Structures are given as structure tokens and as C-alpha cells.
């Protein structure tokens, strides 16, 4: 069986950083590359569950005080078709 596996690419990491800079109380400079990759892993998990590639800032961490969600664009994702055994 062939399935498509998605991963967040460099453009997607930049999207995440910009989103955090605009919406997270700690700002974009707080987040290291490793932290951005952890956010990307959350989006990749969502994709593996059949959901859009989204990340979410909880209400108490957002500058607005409300939960904020971001969907990574198609340009921010790479895809690969892989063969899995059934």
C-alpha cells in the first residue's frame, strides 16, 4: 500500500516562526530552531491523523488572550509517497 507522508520544510518553519512572533506572548525570538521543530512535529502529527497541518497557541500564551490556530501552507510542506506493508 502506498501512502503520502508529509513533513514541514524550511518555508513551513519560517511560517511557524512568523506566526509565533505575531501571536505568542514570548515573541518569535524566544523560539529556538529545536522549539520550532517541535511545533512542526505537532503539525505533522495532525497530518498523520488526517487533519490539516495546524498548530495552536493556547489562550493563556497568546497576545490576544484567545486560542489562536495556524494552518501551514502547501508551500510549507514536503510530501513523499512511501510503501508500507499491510
- pLDDT value of position 37: 97
Whether the CB-CB separation of 2 and 86 falls below 8 Å is answered with no
**For cell 490539516, what's the residue?**
52
Range 29-33 average pLDDT: 94
Range 18-46 average pLDDT: 95
Flag whether the pTM goes above 0.75: yes
Q: In angstroms, how far is CA 58 from the centroid of its own chain? A: 14
Amino acid at each position: 500500500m502506498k501512502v503520502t507522508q508529509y513533513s514541514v520544510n524550511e518555508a513551513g518553519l519560517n511560517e511557524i516562526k512568523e506566526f509565533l512572533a505575531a501571536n505568542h506572548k514570548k515573541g518569535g525570538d524566544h523560539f529556538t530552531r529545536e522549539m520550532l521543530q517541535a511545533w512542526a512535529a505537532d503539525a505533522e502529527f495532525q497530518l498523520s491523523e488526517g487533519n490539516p497541518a495546524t498548530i495552536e497557541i493556547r489562550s493563556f500564551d497568546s497576545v490576544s488572550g484567545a486560542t489562536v490556530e495556524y494552518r501551514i501552507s502547501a508551500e510549507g510542506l514536503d510530501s513523499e509517497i512511501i510503501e508500507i506493508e499491510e
